[in-house]
Structure 1
Amino acid sequence: METRELRYFVAVAEERHFGRAAERLGIAQPPLSRAIAQLERRVGARLLERTTREVALTAAGAVLLAEGRVALEAVEAAERRTRRAAHPGPGLVLVAKAGASEELLAKLLDAYAAEPGAVEVDVQLCGPGQQERMLRDGRADVALLHRPFDSTAGFDGEDLATEGQSLFLPAGHPLSTRGELRLADVADVPLPRWPRPDGGYADGPGPAVRDTAQLRQLVSLGRAVAVLPDSARHGLADDVVAVPVVDAPRVTTMIAWPPHSRSRAVADLVRCATRL
């Protein structure tokens, strides 16, 4: 199976139309149709059902679309990492979720900066789950991930801290005077809606939020409540209260990097992190 054919197939499967897919790829429609036919001969199965108006995926086509996206992402990541290895920059890229592990991240950067031979660290803050994808596709050298929210499969890593979670809510909220809470106590409380991998949001009564920093401001304004790791107490505003949720899953922050990394800067940064 050729990468070119796979890329063509994913474009048609996503557009559900040969004309739009050809325009997206910047090619004429006849060679696109021939490439898809060749791909179907290679795999020995019909991948698309064609009508005069649209294209539909067969069961085999749905499988190839899911697997093909993963394969193309892996190829792009390999190309990106190879270019970075051939032309390494002066520093490294660390990606972290905006508003999360702020105190830990600040301590880590200060400790690493004091190390002999420390290089410049480009810190990129992102939305929930994006740091995992940036590390996986080669845009980042190292990341702070949080189990159980982020997938750590396929990475090397070291656990840095494990903590409980609390309900963050405006002072004066009916639950703000409680000494502790359980998940059952917040079952009917509208909680924030985080973006899905495709960028959309599930329907629900809670506010749609992009990152923890935005959420904390909404809580301060009295427009939201949220269950967050206890470390979010760092820099907590006076008008926000955090009440422990004793049966909420504990959150482990880890520093992660690709298993094939041979970067001395990454190794030095990891050593600093594990000493904190």
Structure 2
Amino acid sequence: MLEVRELRYFLAVADERHFGRAAKRLGIAQPPLSRAIQQLERRLGVQLFERNRSGVTLTEAGDVLRKEAGPLVEGMRAAARRTHRAADPDRPLVLATKAGASHELLRALLDAHAAETGTAPIEVLLCEVGEQAGLLRTGTADVALMHRPVDDLTGFDTEDLLTEEQVAILPAAHPLASRAHLTLAEIENLPDLPIARWPRLDGTYPEGPGPEVHTQAQLAQLVALGKTLLVIPASSRAWQWPEHVAVPVLDAPSVTTVIAWPPHSTSRKVAKLVRTAGRLDVAG
């Protein structure tokens, strides 16, 4: 039987590639950490690390355990967070959403929820693109507003709330900013205005000449400076600057905003919020 403590120790060494740094990160001495890893290797009957003077590297077996153990340990942490929060009847529901995304829908949901009797307060947790899934899986958030097909909805229960078209956000001074509408072909290969590159779900970036962006604030400034453009759902224009212009993109795929929650949730507060969200009438 594997112990969570041993897996935590293993993951720290796997991340740091060094026993000393891993011990410092864990707040323990190095000798008991080394003994714990040796005990884990004996229990499994495999070698997890190749030791050398500069540190350690994962063996093939160690790489498999790293991939399997990470979600398991994080799941245990998430279970502990949800258990503690469930024991507090006065705690707010935590709703995660991308900053600036689905602004009108979010406001309508908060207003409708507040108008009902006996509802829990909602704490809105604003995040960057793609972060909602992690917040739900770790138990940091109870529910999230997410977008299909952009976000990772794997393993979550969802309910569709709003389907909408997309717009291109351009620098106001660019010639295309005066157009009534655009097509993807017209904006995908602009030498003077390459499309910004967001990280994929696996953290890597697509190829292309556009700048790699990490935050919406960074992106907004790059557009205002005439360095890039982006294509986003029309309702995500809440953060649009005066130096930006939004132009509909006729053939861009539609995006659906959903409310998502962990499938094993038994929270009545979550169920009530989901029912309220399903009754909203918000035009795209």
Task: State TM-score, norm by structure 2.
Answer: 0.86
SS in 1 for 2:125: strand
Segment drifting more, 140-149 vs 199-208: 199-208
Structure 2 Cα separation of the partners of residues 217 and 150 of structure 1: 23
8 Å contact 1:98–1:211 — kept in the other structure? Answer: no
Matched, 1:269 2:247: no
Alignment deviations for residues 217-252 of structure 1 (CA, whole Å, 9 cap, x no partner) = 543454431111121345755653322223323211
Distance 1:45 1:120, change over 3 A: same
Matched, 1:138 2:139: yes
CA RMSD in angstroms comes to 2.5
Mapping of 1:249-264 within 5 angstroms?
249-264=253-268
Q: Which residue identity lines up with residue 115 of structure 1 in the other structure?
A: E
| CA displacement at 1:254 relative to structure 2 | 0.3
How many residues get paired?
276
Segment drifting more, 239-248 vs 62-71: 239-248
Mapping of 1:141-156 within 5 angstroms?
141-156=142-157
Where in structure 1 are there 5+ consecutive unaligned residues? none
Matched, 1:232 2:233: no
Mapping of 1:4-83 within 5 angstroms?
4-83=5-84
| CA displacement at 1:65 relative to structure 2 | 1.2
| CA displacement at 1:183 relative to structure 2 | 2.6
Where in structure 2 are there 5+ consecutive unaligned residues? none
Structure 1 Cα separation of the partners of residues 10 and 109 of structure 2: 44
8 Å contact 2:100–2:237 — kept in the other structure? Answer: no
What does residue 128 of structure 1 align with? Answer: 129
Matched, 1:103 2:104: yes
Structure 2 Cα separation of the partners of residues 236 and 15 of structure 1: 40
Alignment deviations for residues 95-132 of structure 1 (CA, whole Å, 9 cap, x no partner) = 11101001110111111111122321111111111122
What does residue 180 of structure 1 align with? Answer: 181
8 Å contact 1:156–1:258 — kept in the other structure? Answer: yes
Structure 1 Cα separation of the partners of residues 241 and 69 of structure 2: 46
Segment drifting more, 175-184 vs 95-104: 175-184
Structure 2 Cα separation of the partners of residues 8 and 33 of structure 1: 9
Task: State TM-score, norm by structure 1.
Answer: 0.89
Identity of aligned residues (%): 60
Alignment deviations for residues 74-108 of structure 1 (CA, whole Å, 9 cap, x no partner) = 11001111111123433211111101001110111
8 Å contact 1:18–1:33 — kept in the other structure? Answer: yes
Structure 1 Cα separation of the partners of residues 97 and 28 of structure 2: 38
Structure 2 Cα separation of the partners of residues 116 and 57 of structure 1: 55
8 Å contact 1:97–1:211 — kept in the other structure? Answer: no
Distance 1:29 1:238, change over 3 A: closer
What does residue 164 of structure 1 align with? Answer: 165
